[in-house]
Amino acid sequence: MEKLSAYLNQNKERFLEELFGLIRIPSISSISEHKPDMLRAAEYWKETILKAGADKADVIPTAGNPVVYGEKIIDPAKPTVLVYAHYDVMPVDPIDLWTSPPFEPEIRDEKICARGADDDKGQAFMHAKAFESMVATGELPCNVKFMIEGEEEIGSPNLEKFCVDHKDMLKADIILVSDTSMIGQDKPSITVGLRGLAYLEVEVTGPNRDLHSGLFGGAVANPINILSKMIASLTDEQNRITIPGFYDKVIELSPEERAEMAKAPFSLDDYKKALDIKEVHGEAGYSTIERTGIRPTLDVCGIWGGYTGEGAKTVLPSKAYAKISMRLVPNQDHEEISVLFQKHFESIAPASVKVKVTNLHGGQGYVSPTGDKAYIAASKAYEKTFGRKPIPFRSGGSIPIISTFERVLGIKSILMGFGLESDAIHSPNENYPLFNFYKGIETIPWFYKYYTENA
């Protein structure tokens, strides 16, 4: 394994340059005008995998953005690791809060600063380079497959069908994913739980056109006022969600399990300081870690309506909109929750407005066992390179496709995320420390080694 370290050291700069090439492609999956960029990013990945030493690699069309598939089969009797990642990224608004242009990567404070630096171009690229390193040094111990999709940030609408259609091709023993974060650079952790997601857009229409707020105000329903009341009523004084049936399938953890969770290192003071807030805010009766780890939530991700420009325009607008996301815990079904939301939201609308609810996307939550051989191999790999055992951790984030993999392909996933919460993924000034990038490339081959040895 020493050859691997040497190879990494000799190629550090080139690895980074090649990652920058990928980052420079603005592959935002939710904005249709970036369609050509999606294809460019897919081709870039295909070339990257081929050059790294794959037997073959292809850009395979779907009804949406294509999936890049590649493989290197060294011995059918050996285990197979399927690397899953995505080449699409989030939008960049609000653009004026970025210190440097989001698609012109640069290094500041030893961090790669750009959209996708962490999520998921930086993290995914570690796998390409770990794979290249293993091939180049003769240290690849097993078979490898890559499946890099372009629609993760919009809920992977076409990947389930892709899995059904290519079940044989995708056969593997474990799916390896780096799209989560760890607690700290000196506190490695492995994500063993993910939240599900239901994401809907609501439109509230009052009068059929914008009105003069003096001539009509007070007599005609203002859709912003109404929408505010409707949103406000979705959570109660305890910050519990009021949608009937919402909590029916939520599994309450035992006191023992909660005590175990409470052992994860966490400083509420540091947390508040980092976010510049006086108080945290969440469901009564649960700690901050529990609120994101084991409890579902409802957040308005966007709201708009009326006059939002400079100055004081008076208007009683015709329409108001909001984008509402609900993070779900394992056992809650996102489709069921979306239906509950829609029915409830329509039922609370006063007769003075019309309401339209659109289901934009969703995915199931996931829990992975801490006792299986993939977890043990990952744990040993982190211990080797970080010098300490990783902590099992339930993340508040969602990777909806993970539960689909288990259902359709029958394969479990291991979430070896190397990101940090401070990486500002989905936000302005997304970044990824060089330390984490290189540490990932160093750690991944150890997983391959331990996993193969124990298979």
- Identity of the amino acid at 338: S
Residues 209-248 touching a copy of itself, rule: CB under 8 A, are 209-222, 224-229, 231-233, 235
Least Å distance between CB 376 and a copy of itself?
A: 26
Nearer to a copy of itself by Cβ, of 143 and 222: the residue is 222
219 to each of 100, 207, 214, 215, how far by Cα in Å? 48, 11, 10, 9
Query: Closer to a copy of itself at the Cβ: 148 or 221?
Result: 221
Instruction: Choose, by CB under 8 A, the member of 76, 138, 255, 311 that binds a copy of itself.
Output: 311
Nearer to a copy of itself (CB atom), residue 325 or residue 364: 325
Piece in contact with a copy of itself (CB under 8 A), picked from 136-144, 170-178, 345-353, 407-415? 345-353
Which residue from 117, 316, 401, 402 is in contact with a copy of itself, where contact means CB under 8 A?
316
Residues 163-202 that bind a copy of itself (CB under 8 A): 181, 195, 197, 199, 201
- Judged by beta carbon, residue 10 or residue 314, the one nearer a copy of itself is 314
* Helix pair angle (121-136, 2-23), 10° resolution: 140
Residues 208 and 369: their CA atoms lie apart, in Å, by 54
Find tokens 């288990």 and name the residue. 406
Nearer to a copy of itself, 56 or 273 (CB): 273
DSSP assignment, residue 254? Answer: P
281 binds a copy of itself (CB under 8 A): yes
**Smallest separation (angstroms) from a copy of itself to the CB of 353:** 8
**Is the separation of the CB atoms in 392 and 192 below 8 Å?**
yes
Of 7, 292, 303, 296, nearest to 133 by C-alpha is 7
Q: Within 10 Å of residue 37's Cβ, how many Cβ atoms?
A: 22
Least distance from C-beta 185 to a copy of itself, angstroms?
17
Query: Alpha-carbon distance 208 to 148, whole Å?
Result: 45
- For residue 350, whether the previous peptide bond is cis, meaning omega lies within 30 degrees of 0, is no
299 lines the binding site for a copy of itself (CB under 8 A): yes
312 near a copy of itself, judged by CB under 8 A: yes
- Write phi, then psi, for 372 (nearest 5 degrees): -85, 175
Q: In 382-408, which positions are buried (b, 16+ CB within 10 angstroms) versus exposed (e)?
A: bbbbbeeebbbbbbbbbbbbbbbbbeb
List binders of a copy of itself among 112-151 (CB under 8 A): none
Q: How far apart are CA 309 and CA 175, in angstroms?
A: 48
Site for a copy of itself in 29-48 (CB under 8 A): 29-32
* Segment interacting with a copy of itself (CB under 8 A) among 7-15, 50-58, 120-128, 207-215: 207-215
Answer for which of 115, 121, 327, 380 binds a copy of itself (CB under 8 A) is: 327
CB of 162 to a copy of itself, least distance (A): 20
Choosing from 50, 424, 434, 455, the residue that interacts with a copy of itself (CB under 8 A) is 424
Exactly one of 336, 428, 434, 455 binds a copy of itself (CB under 8 A); which one? 428
Report whether the peptide linkage leading into residue 372 is cis, meaning its omega lies within 30 degrees of zero: no
At its nearest, how many Å lie between a copy of itself and the CB of residue 21? Answer: 25
**Among positions 115, 127, 291, 449, the unique one binding a copy of itself when judged by CB under 8 A:** 291
Q: Which listed residue (301, 369, 407, 453) binds a copy of itself by CB under 8 A?
A: 301
Write the DSSP string, 105-139. Answer: -EEETTEEESTTTTTTHHHHHHHHHHHHHHHHTT-
- 248 burial via Cβ count (<10 Å: 0-12, 13-18, 19+): exposed
Among 48, 158, 325, 338, binds a copy of itself (CB under 8 A): 325
Distance CA 242, CA 358 (A): 20
Determine which residue in the list 269, 310, 371, 387 makes contact with a copy of itself, applying CB under 8 A: 310
Q: What DSSP state is assigned to residue 110?
A: T
What is the total residue count of the chain?
455
Q: Which residues pair with 80 in a beta bridge?
A: 143
Binding mask 392-411 for a copy of itself (x = CB under 8 A): ---xxxx-------------
- Cβ closest to a copy of itself, residue 179 vs residue 442: 179
- Give the integer Cα–Cα distance in Å for 180 and 217: 48
Rounded least distance, CB 283 to a copy of itself, Å = 7
Q: Among 5, 99, 352, 454, which residue sits at the site for a copy of itself (rule: CB under 8 A)? A: 352
Q: Is 153 in the site for a copy of itself (CB under 8 A)?
A: yes
